[in-house]
Structure 1
Amino acid sequence: MKRIILLLLFVFIYSNHENVYASELLKIKLKNYIGDKEELTIQVKGRYTTMNGIEEFREGAKFIVTAKKGSILLTNQNEKLTFKDSLVLIPDQYDQDHIITVNDKKYLGAMEFMIEDGKYIRPINQIPIEDYLKGVVPFEVYPSWKLETLKAQALAARTYTMTHMDKEMDDTIQFQVYGGYEWFERASKAVEETKGEIITFENKPINAYYSASNGGVTENNKNVWGETAKAYFPIKKDPYDPIQPWTLTLQKEQLFLKNIGASKMTWWDMLEEKDPSIAEPMKNRLKKQGFAGDLKILSISNLDILPNLNESNRAKKGSIKIEFLRRLIEGTILYEVVELKDTEIDRIRPLIGGSSFKSYLIDTFEEHDRYYVIKGRGFGHGVGMSQWGASIMADKGYSYREIIDHYYPGTTIKKIDDIQKDEEKKGETSKSSEGNSGS
């Protein structure tokens, strides 16, 4: 019931803002810049109150938000407030004179703070879709790029958002990178000049996937996510993508334990992997798979990319074996092994990290005595729009509509309101037909 009341209150506030559709409100979990924190610092500009309207937050004052015994604790130098389950801060008006800052990052709209995993404070920003996009476009592509590129990105991002509103979206690359109220003039202009426009197929929004670079060859959605193949995601050569070649060198042995004196009190802290840019995402992934505690990667004792490829010449399967140490809270140290044999490549890439293992379009794989070398092209899954390709198309004089047509062939750009009107007309026609048939 609380969340229903909260949503209705937000609708009332935002519906007074002339550039916002009240039905297009989003809730975005803030993870990318916040991380997993047990304590957050917040400030407000303008008048903010809690959901019940009783507690008012002083402008400029710093508050600390923490979790304690299942409740949210809000403190500053002069006062201490406790909120059960969650804390919601609501501006008395929705405009750019009302800003909430969370750990030095600015946001418009309302903010809810919840307890996550029993100890972390998770902020959730509620904001209209068009202003959300102003915080997405300049963080998904360079805001200095041509306006037509930014418009194409705005359409892809808006359409993607419309088809994912039923999910718990966050501000990471798992959905779309959202930078809050850090707007750029050109990117905001692109959002405003395409307001309400989305990419459709048969009068419905598509899953407008996009990635940084397809390596010169686009990919079909079925090959990546196992979905029903869509005709507007064809496998074809992309003459505009700049290819983006990359090389990944991965050391087999990450730690030399024999060089560490186990008798020293700080021996564990002295352990540093050879490839920290790979070891850190690998440890994070292993923790998500249930390996709690402090981890140290010993070795990647096996890595293989199998030669069988899909229609776009992207790798399909591979193998990996990771050996690591795990230190529990009480100090016990365990030796662990995770091994995946002849498995889907999309289970291996996250273990190494997408920033290093950039795509599945692999040209060569080499195993040497002490290391592996993978060379490939592109950055990301390759489905839909190539952001770098869109930039080059705009540089060559193509419009955003031509960019969309190139990367999503067979689709139509439509206004959200027009789609809704079309659906309403269909409904009226259907009812009329039913009435006539019954007479």
Structure 2
Amino acid sequence: MKRPIILLMGTMIFGILLSVLISVLFYGKNEVSNSIDAGTKKIVQKEDKDPYEKVDKTSPTISVYNSSTNKIEEMDIETFLYGVLSAEMSSDFSEEALKAQAVAARTYIIYKKENNMTKGHKGADICTDSNHCQAYFSYNELKKNKGEDWIKESYPKIKKAVDDTKGHILTYDEKAILPLYFSTSSGKTENCEEVFSSQYPYLKSVSSPYEEQSPRYYTETKISKYKFVNALNKSYSNISLSVDNLINQINVLERTNAGSVKTIQIGDKKLSGRNIRTLFGLNSSNFDIGFENDTVVFKVKGYGHGVGMSQWGAEGMAQKNYKYYDILCHYYTGIEIKDIY
């Protein structure tokens, strides 16, 4: 009798251990833990292991029009990205945010190449003018401007973010996307079509819940009523704006999904929020207008155009232990990450 009982107990223990093992192997891989409601979709942390393939081919050479030297240079794309990432995002940011930025920057170059967008580059694939493409600093410029200590302590962090994502780009329908990005949102990104004239299925408004730490999350710009009126009358001759009873001559007519001013009535003229942002040098088009005695006060949220990936939002997600691919898949709707070399 003892032997059958022992055998039965052994079988039960084995069954329990097998169930535990199966749970660990299968359920441990699920995309769970720390989901947060992101408004239009959920941000979900994935497994720690980078799930994307490693093609491990030689990285391509690209032609770069250096706007500061007025010359076209041939360089390895990954080496160029060291300089782009150094210029576009602070090295103080978390590793995963830097990786996300590196992938976005790489995708931007590939997008330009695939679409033959050489205008303004003098025939090169890309340029170093941040108003046209992406900012860039050479190694020597970084050494001169940031100093030896930065090169020793921070440059390796930049290189690692680029190297760890080598060849990774963002795609939609098997093609590189236009990966727009900006500094700081007001808690939600913009639909591309509400800011620019073009519509892209992957540049949709999403919640961006970790923005408050940005130094430009909330700012105020003050200007006298007289300068405010003069600036508008000078820019728009038919606006018919006067200092008297100014509060009743301004009315926000429409806002975007993310809260930016889309259309505003000022005097006899309907203007866009972008018009006002440009004219008065505001950090974004997400603003309210108030008055303090003889002063006009712009209360502004966010910094930048608001479309695509928020850099400070990416940093906030990284601090919450989200991976770079979580960040990218959140800010760019419906995209895939592909390793092309």
The answer on 1:393 being equivalent to 2:321 is no
The structure whose RCO (Cα within 8 Å, separation 6+) is larger is: 2
Which deviates more from structure 2 when the two are superposed, residues 385-394 or residues 302-311? 302-311
> Which of 66, 81, 84 is 1:28 aligned to?
66
> Which of 138, 159, 173 is 1:180 aligned to?
138
Q: Deviations over 1:104-156 (max 9, x none)?
A: xxxxxxx5xxxxxxxxxxx2352433222111112211112221111100011
TM, length-normalised to structure 2:
0.64
1:345 paired residue number: 273
> Which of 253, 256, 269 is 1:307 aligned to?
253
> Would the aligned equivalents of 2:171 and 2:335 in 1 still touch at CA under 8 Å?
yes
Q: Deviations over 1:84-111 (max 9, x none)?
A: xxxxxxxxxxxxxxxxxxxxxxxxxxx5
The answer on 1:163 being equivalent to 2:111 is yes
Mapping of 1:208-227 within 5 angstroms? 208-227=179-198
Gaps of 5+ in 2: 1-56, 121-126, 143-150, 236-241
- Residue 374 (structure 1) shift: 1.1
2:79 counterpart SS class: helix
Which deviates more from structure 2 when the two are superposed, residues 128-137 or residues 172-181? 172-181
1:376 paired residue number: 300
Mapping of 1:407-426 within 5 angstroms? 407-417=331-341
Q: Which amino acid aligns with 1:124?
A: K
Q: Which has the higher strand share?
A: 1
1:204 paired residue number: 175
1:234 paired residue number: 204
> Would the aligned equivalents of 1:249 and 1:372 in 2 still touch at CA under 8 Å?
yes
> Would the aligned equivalents of 1:320 and 1:348 in 2 still touch at CA under 8 Å?
no
2:60 counterpart SS class: coil
> Would the aligned equivalents of 2:190 and 2:306 in 1 still touch at CA under 8 Å?
yes
TM, length-normalised to structure 1:
0.50
- Residue 249 (structure 1) shift: 1.0
Change (3 A) 1:160 1:308: same
Change (3 A) 1:229 1:407: same
> Would the aligned equivalents of 1:218 and 1:237 in 2 still touch at CA under 8 Å?
yes
> Which of 121, 126, 136 is 2:73 aligned to?
126
Q: Deviations over 1:214-233 (max 9, x none)?
A: 11011111111121242x22
What RMSD over aligned residues (CA atoms) do the two structures have, in Å? 3.0
- Residue 174 (structure 1) shift: 4.3
> Would the aligned equivalents of 2:181 and 2:308 in 1 still touch at CA under 8 Å?
yes
2:321 counterpart SS class: coil
Give me the whole-angstrom Cα distance separating, in 2, the residues matched to 1:132 and 1:305: 47
1:342 counterpart SS class: strand
The answer on 1:360 being equivalent to 2:285 is yes
> Would the aligned equivalents of 2:190 and 2:256 in 1 still touch at CA under 8 Å?
no
Q: Deviations over 1:323-362 (max 9, x none)?
A: xxxxxxxxxxxxxxxxx93122223322222xxx111222
